[in-house]
Structure 1
């Protein structure tokens, strides 16, 4: 059932922020001399009229990524006694550190709009563990994690969408371990209801 999701991204409706980001990239490209003013005007018009990702993506497909991407302030989450989480829609920085503590940490990227090519995520499972949920189409690099006693469970698939973020995972499993996975069946149902 999930295998048809990659093809459906293009059908998804674009937001004002998506259109604005494409217009900004086109203006930067014109300033860099990559496209001329006539082409800029034509592409901007198409971007502003775009309704779906499929209409937006071709407008910048022949341009390199913008040189400056907002990396955000590093995020540090500590599970402590009661746990900590980031779920729903939240601003993803380029660097995240998660310490499971005694309450555990959950990082859920399922509903975020992230334009970073790479997210550096340092996870330490400690006593209660760290769970990381990434959308279908994102990929994970987990070779640099020390499994510790709790181990590392990488349940992600290598089917990365073009331009989707890569989560580069480092750290230690600790006593409880680190899990990185895509949304499970219950989470997928919840995501469909929220749309």
Structure 2
């Protein structure tokens, strides 16, 4: 009886032929949105590339959509530990100078209050989770005009929630997902006021 030759293990698929996951497609879509926000591709091209990305089945098909774009940063801000701000007695603020934004910010207003100002940051995250607890003196969050807010998970508490932002979000900019409770001091999220705009305009490159 003739013995059968041993079966060879299946060859691994070339990298470009590997099947893409939902996360792979989402990452490419986010890279395309960032490229549009930076002016590297126009909105029409963004729409066509996003459509192709969502239909892509392999890594090779996805790679072809971003071959002419800079590679995203290897270290993601999403991996940074949460930023915790506590107002304490004297209050605390972060910004408007440039600062590194993590994927999650937790603010406790305390007696002195907390202010978080995102107007000078450069952030590639699709979302930033902000947990705001107004406590006694409240929390104020200031975001650029191009950013938008989802405050549906916020409990206004006794002090209330004032959402003075517009829904006009530009592609490639973060969404602030606001949760927490207003407490006694309340929580305010808004775009820059007149005084802040004057300062931004007079020192556009301030670090």
**Alpha-carbon distance in 1 for matches of 2:102, 2:94:** 12
The Cα shift of 1:53 comes to: 3.2
The Cα shift of 1:176 comes to: 0.8
Q: What SS does structure 1 have at the residue aligned with 2:90?
A: coil
TM-score of the two chains, using structure 1 as the length reference: 0.69
Structure 2 residue corresponding to 1:96, chosen from 99, 105, 111: 105
Residue aligning to 2:25: none
Q: What SS does structure 2 have at the residue aligned with 1:191?
A: helix
- Listed as ranges, the matches of 1:30-49 within 5 Å are 33=16
- Listed as ranges, the matches of 1:120-139 within 5 Å are 120-139=129-148
**Alpha-carbon distance in 2 for matches of 1:79, 1:106:** 9
Residue aligning to 2:161: 152
User: Residue deviations 1:90-114, cap 9 Å, x none?
Assistant: 0000011000000000000000001
Q: What SS does structure 1 have at the residue aligned with 2:135?
A: coil
Q: What SS does structure 2 have at the residue aligned with 1:102?
A: coil
Q: What SS does structure 1 have at the residue aligned with 2:110?
A: coil
**Alpha-carbon distance in 2 for matches of 1:189, 1:138:** 19
Structure 2 residue corresponding to 1:86, chosen from 90, 94, 98: 94
The Cα shift of 1:163 comes to: 1.3
> Please, which runs of 5 or more residues in structure 1 have no aligned partner?
1-31, 35-51
**Alpha-carbon distance in 1 for matches of 2:75, 2:202:** 35
TM-score of the two chains, using structure 2 as the length reference: 0.65
Q: Which protein has the larger Cα radius of gyration, Structure 1 or Structure 2?
A: 2
- RMSD in angstroms over aligned alpha carbons? 2.6
- Listed as ranges, the matches of 1:56-67 within 5 Å are 56-57=40-41, 61=46, 62=49, 63=65
Q: Is the 8 A contact 2:77 2:101 kept in 1?
A: no
**Alpha-carbon distance in 2 for matches of 1:155, 1:188:** 15
Distance change >3 Å, CA 84–CA 187, structure 1 → 2: same
- Listed as ranges, the matches of 1:99-110 within 5 Å are 99-110=108-119
The Cα shift of 1:68 comes to: 7.4
Residue aligning to 1:75: 83
Q: What SS does structure 2 have at the residue aligned with 1:81?
A: coil
> Please, which runs of 5 or more residues in structure 2 have no aligned partner?
1-14, 18-36, 50-64
Structure 2 residue corresponding to 1:117, chosen from 126, 138, 157: 126
